[in-house]
Chain A
Amino acid sequence: MHPHPRASLACLTTVLLVAACSPDSKQPDTGEAPPVETLRVEEQTVTSNNHGLFDVDFEVKDGERVQLVLEDPNNGYVGTQLLIDPDGNTALDRDDWSGSHNELTEALTGAQYASTLNWPVREEDGTLAPGVWTLSGEILDRTQEPNKHADVEATILYRTDDAPTAGTAHVVMAYCTGVRDQDGVVEAMEAGVAYWQELYASWGITLTVEYTDIEVDPALPDTYEGVEAYGELLAGYDDYPLLMIVGDDINGDSYIYGEAAAIPGPATATRISAVEVSWLAHAGANGKFSDGEIGILGETMAHETGHYLGMFHPVEDGWQFWDAVDDTPECNSMSQCQDKLGANLMFPYPVCTSMVDCAPQDELSDGQTGIIQRYVGVD
C-alpha cells in the first residue's frame, strides 16, 4: 500500500435514496425464481482537509459493483487518488497509472464538474469484497490549487446483477432546437440508432431508445463543459438513462463527429452527463446522408457511447498509448495498428479502403465487452 495522507472527514452526511428491484425480463422461464437486479443509490457530502484531500467511505454488499460520481459544487476539479478495500489493501492507486502508457479510467486524472469511477473496470480488477471501502480523492480549485475545506458531493450507485454478461441500457436521444426541422436528419438518426442497437446487441446489451427534444442551441459546447439543461433533463428520469444530444456541430467545429464527456461518464444527472453527436459532420458537404454516412453515424453513436461506458481507444493515434485491456492486440505503427485493430469499434478513426469506402468497425474483444457490461448504468 502506498503512503497517502488520508483526509479527515470534517463533515459527512449520508442519504439512502433508492432501492429498486425488478425481475430480469430477459431470462428464460426455467421454473426457478427469476434473478433480481438491484440498484441502490447513496449520497454523501464530504469536506476536504488542509491539502484538498478527502475520503468517501461506502459499504458494499455481496455481489455489488459500484460507481462513484464526485462533484464539486464550485466547479473546480475533482478526482480519485486511491481505492482501498475493506482489508486495507489498495485496489487502485493513481501513482500506478500516472505516466503509464496504458489507460484505465479518467477518474484518476480528475475533471471539472464531475469525475466518475466505475469499479471494477476489468475482469482482472476482481469483484468487490463486502464491507466498507474507501475512495480517497483530491479537489482543486479553478486555478488547479488544492481546495481546502471544500465540500465534495459524492453519489454512489451500487448494482447487483445476476446476469453480468447481458443487460439493458435506456437511451434518451434529445434533438436540440431546430434540428428536427432539417430535412432527413430524423430519418438518418433513427437508421443510425438501429445499427447502433444491432452492434450493442451482439455484445449482450439491449438498447431501449426514446426520443425527445431539448431547448439547447444546436451549436453545442464540448461535453467537458456541458450544459445545465442536460442534468435538468436527466433529473426527470429515475432509471439513470444515457443521454445522447443531437446538434449541428460541437465546440464551433463543423467536423467533430461526436464526443463523450468522460471515460467513463457519470450515470447520474449532471451538466456533463451526455454524449453529443453532430449531424452535419456526418452528412457532409451536401447536408444529406448517404448509406455509408449512416453506417458511420451508427458507429459514431456506438463508439462515443463506448467511451461513456468506460472504453478507451485500444491504441491512441500516435501509437504510444494503449488501453489497459489484455486482449486487444499490441501494435505500434499506423499500418500495424490498422491491420490488427482497424475493425475494432474503438479504433481512433475509420479505416477507409478507398476514397469513398470505409471498412465497418463492428468488433470488440471480450475484455472490452466486459467493461461496458460492468458499467453500473447498464443493468
Chain B
Amino acid sequence: MRRALAFLAPLALGSSALAAEPTVALTNDNVVIQALRARSAVPCAALADQPDLAAELYAIAEADVAPAWVSLRAASCLAERFSTDGRFVGWVSPWFTDDERGGLGLAALTSSLANPATRSVIEPLARQAPLRWRDLYARRLDAADAAP
C-alpha cells in the first residue's frame, strides 16, 4: 500500500498538494466510490454532482480504495472534467514524480489525450517521469500521435 491514507485524504485548496490542507473524509459507502467500483465503467460525466466533486475525486485518487481501479478512475475523471481547476496542476504533478503514484499519472495522461489543452499541461510532466513509468507514458503518447 502506498500510504496510510485509507480513510482520510488531503483536500488541497491551493496549487500545491503540499499546502496546509483540510481533509475530506471518505467512507466505504461514498456515492462516488460506489459509482467508480462498477465493473462497467460509469462515464465521468455521469458522476453525481457533489459540492466539490474535483476535490472528492482527488481524495479518492490519493486514497487506498479497493479495488485498485477506483483510484485510477478517479484520476481519469479528474483530468477529464477538472483540468482547468486552479488546483489541478498541483494535484497531478506528484503523480509524475513519485514512482508509487505513476499509475495515477498514466490514468490522467490517457484521459488528457482527447483534450489538447489538458495534454499540453500533462505531457511535459509525463516526459520527465521516473524511468519505470516514462516508457509507458511515451508509448501512450506515441500511439495517440500515430492514430489516424
Contacts and interface: CB of A to CB of B under 8 A. Distances in A.
Interface in A217-247: 217-219
Interface string B100-136: 1111101100110100000000000000000011011
Contacts of A357: 66
Nearest to A290: B1
A198 interface: no
A355 B7 contact: yes
Nearest to B106: A254
A358 interface: yes
B73 interface: yes
B66 A356 contact: yes
A63 interface: no
A350 interface: yes
A352 B26 CA distance: 14
B37 A349 contact: yes
Interface string A238-280: 0000000000110011111100000000000000000000001
A246 to B, nearest CB: 14
Interface residues of A, number: 37
A285 interface: yes
**Per DSSP, are chain A's interface residues mostly helix, strand or loop, or mixed?**
loop
A68 to B, nearest CB: 28
5 contacts: A248-B139, A255-B76, A296-B66, A350-B67, A355-B65
Contacts of A353: 28
B39 A349 contact: yes
Given A293-B68, A348-B38, A287 B133 contact: yes
B72 A355 contact: no
A284 to B, nearest CB: 3
B52 to A, nearest CB: 20
Contacts of B111: 254
Contacts of A217: 139, 143
B68 A354 contact: no
A25 interface: no
A357 B107 CA distance: 23
Instruction: Using C-beta atoms within 8 Å of the partner chain, give the interface range for chain B.
Output: 35 or more
A371 B2 CA distance: 41
B76 A254 contact: yes
B63 interface: yes
B47 interface: no
B140 interface: yes
A254 B64 contact: no
A145 B27 CA distance: 50
B6 A254 contact: no
Contact of B103 (A252, A253, A284, A292): A284
B65 A178 contact: no
Contacts of A303: 39
A327 interface: no
A40 B7 CA distance: 57
Contacts of B18: none
A282 interface: yes
B38 A218 contact: no
Given A255-B76, A285-B100, A356-B65, A348 B110 contact: no
A84 B103 CA distance: 51
Given A254-B76, A285-B72, A292 B2 contact: no
B6 A355 contact: yes
A178 B134 CA distance: 13
A44 B72 CA distance: 46
Interface in A281-320: 281-287, 290, 292-293, 296, 303, 317
Interface in B24-81: 26-28, 33, 37-41, 61, 63-69, 71-73, 75-76
